Structure 1
Amino acid sequence: MGNRLFQEARQYVQLAKEASSAGSEDTQQTIQRAKNALSSAYTNTNRAEQQQLRGLQDELNQLH
């Protein structure tokens, strides 16, 4: 099943990417939600998941 917070973080980053590419008006709000999800997940994951979360954070940073 995996770590629920980790899964949510991945989903929020995907939503942020979709909102950004669609030019959605709520892109910044979606990005902020993704950042919050990443932060929450990071403290509750193992090293391998943390590395993946850093990659997701990099993707998110490119959306600004």
Structure 2
Amino acid sequence: MANRLFQDARKFVDLAKNSSQAEQPEAIEKAKNALSSAYANTNMAEKEQLQELQKELDALH
């Protein structure tokens, strides 16, 4: 079974990347929270992927 928190983090980062300009700040906050939760509960391989997702999110600012 795949890590649910990891899947949620990936979903929220995708939503932030595809949200409108008006919705983006809230979507980014949700993605940050999801990444934080997932990072605390993942293995090393998932942590590396989460770091890449964080870089994508940082590029949106």
Give the CA RMSD over aligned residues: 0.8
Q: Mind listing any 5+ residue stretches in structure 2 that lack a counterpart? A: none
Q: Mind listing any 5+ residue stretches in structure 1 that lack a counterpart? A: none
Q: 1:58 aligns with which of 47, 50, 55?
A: 55
Tell me, in whole angstroms, the C-alpha distance in 2 between the residues paired with 1:39 and 1:2.
Answer: 17
Cα deviation digits, residues 24-45 of structure 1 (max 9, x gap): 3111000000000000000100
Partner of 1:18: 18
Partner of 2:4: 4
Which portions of structure 1, spanning 4 or more consecutive aligned residues, are displaced by more than 2 angstroms?
none
Tell me, in whole angstroms, the C-alpha distance in 1 between the residues paired with 2:59 and 2:21.
Answer: 16
Q: Aligned pair 1:27/2:24, yes or no? A: yes
Give the number of equivalent residue pairs.
Answer: 61
Q: Aligned pair 1:41/2:38, yes or no? A: yes
Q: What percent identity do the matched residue pairs reach?
A: 57
Q: CA deviation at 1:2?
A: 0.2
Tell me, in whole angstroms, the C-alpha distance in 2 between the residues paired with 1:25 and 1:60.
Answer: 16
